[in-house]
Structure 1
């Protein structure tokens, strides 16, 4: 058992938050001269390698085959959701939208997860869920409309649809993943292994459109390492060290605001005041929903 150490927990959590804060920028850089299929393949393969290395060096690793055999069909479904379907949809949203808008919508996946838990896990719709839902989507409306309801910004409608769809896919993935009852690292590694055949088909079918450059390959590997794997591993380490998990969990709310800094500094994308206000409202909604539901089993 890991010895509890709140200082170490905070350190690991802050590293995770910092890494997650850079990925929206990495998405846009990679997509500047890479196809969706190429980015999904390169980032997923990179993540698979890292997760496998982490698994090999884990002191308490469980048999991947034994875990897979308990729910093989479920893992095959999960592997095609994450990394294949989810990241294809998410990258599609970032390809069509400003990074700050895609990020704002995607960040609402937490409230979608809570709402999907109601019919799937038979949880009750609470007052916290209602307030959280209202605030989150008020925040999204603020971000998208920029307070100009007479002349709505000309954002790509397909991109907006993909961004909302990504929240549904990601929430569904985690709800299904709960049914595996497997350790987190082993479970996500099996998902990536099960997704490999689909990634291979994606690569073969789209190979002629692949265009490998230093920028898009580096960005793809970076996404695989820091969005899909290392940040996730560090976050798990943070939670294992944590004495007060609520304090650690609250640090994640820093991520979207730090991300705006990278989007502005590196991508030179002007940040709208409405985006900042919208994110504040979304984060407030998530915080209130979590706070009010903390005693609900």
Structure 2
């Protein structure tokens, strides 16, 4: 594993770009698969495929013992974090995508970084800077514009509950990262352990809210894609990119490429008409994220 840990800017950029390209397809994949599966079904099957992909990766890399250690020495941590992600987080996120146009759900989900800074100030006692507050104001102004969906000056036709769930998902995701901040286990092995412990809960949720057997092969195929490229292997790609990069900032800025690429796919593959308010809202969300990141660099 020495080669993976050695700094290599070119390989870091390659892994980072691969991750961003995968993330760019997520919104489209969610919407297409949700035509075949309901949110509880998608949660169950995606979690199964994600767990399998992570375990396969660890086995191929010869790091199976890290998974066993992560699971057996920290079962309750794995259960707690697995309950948050994937069980609660993705159930809420899939329901939001089921109710909202992809062009709204995806940019709103990107505001989790803003939410994280706000929650960190409360729970981790981190200093909340003026730039953090300004970034939040700009990003959430973007959310308001996204909700208009081409009807300027009104809330448009957006599903109110769907928008609330999308915002709630950012709270859950931020809470997950705060809870995982003290986790010293190998990141990929820990995620695999968390997902393993979440599977019974995902099955129960599907049994109570839906049916795990009433599915199409197209839905299962979509869940496999989402499980591997959104919930599983992409995480490993991103971790590798961060390890190879001389500094996290060199690859973290790549995430700004994902929303614009995603909009292109949403338009051409889903057939959504991209409203002017979507472009304006996305610009504000990205500006808020950029302001937050620029503020960190300037004070570091």
TM-score scaled by structure 1?
0.93
Q: How big is the shift at 1:146?
A: 4.5
Assess, with a 3 A threshold, how the Cα gap between structure 1 residues 36 and 293 changes in structure 2: closer, same or farther. same
Alignment correspondent of 2:232: 229
Residue 47 of structure 1 pairs with residue 50 of structure 2: yes
Q: Distance in 2 between matches of 1:71 and 1:184?
A: 13
Assess, with a 3 A threshold, how the Cα gap between structure 1 residues 61 and 291 changes in structure 2: closer, same or farther. farther
From 274, 278, 288, give the equivalent of 2:281. 278
* CA shift digits 1:227-266 (9 cap, x unpaired): 0112111111111211243121111110011100110110
Q: Distance in 2 between matches of 1:147 and 1:131?
A: 25
* CA shift digits 1:133-187 (9 cap, x unpaired): 1111111111112574544312111111111110000110111011222221011
Alignment correspondent of 1:132: 135
Assess, with a 3 A threshold, how the Cα gap between structure 1 residues 126 and 38 changes in structure 2: closer, same or farther. same
Detail structure 1 runs of 4+ shifted over 6 Å in the superposition.
Answer: none
Asked whether the equivalents of residues 206 and 212 of structure 2 are also in contact (C-alpha less than 8 Å), the reply is: no
Structure 1: runs of 5 or more not aligned: none
Asked whether the equivalents of residues 23 and 258 of structure 2 are also in contact (C-alpha less than 8 Å), the reply is: yes
List aligned pairs for 1:159-198, cutoff 5 A: 159-198=162-201
Assess, with a 3 A threshold, how the Cα gap between structure 1 residues 291 and 150 changes in structure 2: closer, same or farther. closer
From 85, 88, 101, give the equivalent of 1:85. 88
List aligned pairs for 1:199-214, cutoff 5 A: 199-205=202-208, 208=211, 210-214=213-217
Asked whether the equivalents of residues 29 and 226 of structure 2 are also in contact (C-alpha less than 8 Å), the reply is: yes
List aligned pairs for 1:50-89, cutoff 5 A: 50-59=53-62, 63-68=66-71, 71-89=74-92
Alignment correspondent of 2:262: 259
Assess, with a 3 A threshold, how the Cα gap between structure 1 residues 101 and 210 changes in structure 2: closer, same or farther. farther
Q: Distance in 2 between matches of 1:214 and 1:104?
A: 29
Q: How big is the shift at 1:91?
A: 0.4
Assess, with a 3 A threshold, how the Cα gap between structure 1 residues 60 and 260 changes in structure 2: closer, same or farther. same
Asked whether the equivalents of residues 46 and 225 of structure 1 are also in contact (C-alpha less than 8 Å), the reply is: yes
TM-score scaled by structure 2?
0.92
Q: How big is the shift at 1:52?
A: 0.5
Alignment correspondent of 1:9: 12
From 237, 241, 246, give the equivalent of 1:238. 241
Q: How big is the shift at 1:38?
A: 0.9
Q: How big is the shift at 1:82?
A: 0.8
Residue 27 of structure 1 pairs with residue 26 of structure 2: no
Q: Distance in 2 between matches of 1:280 and 1:22?
A: 19
Aligned length: 297
RMSD over aligned Cα atoms: 1.9
Alignment correspondent of 1:95: 98
Q: Distance in 2 between matches of 1:179 and 1:4?
A: 24
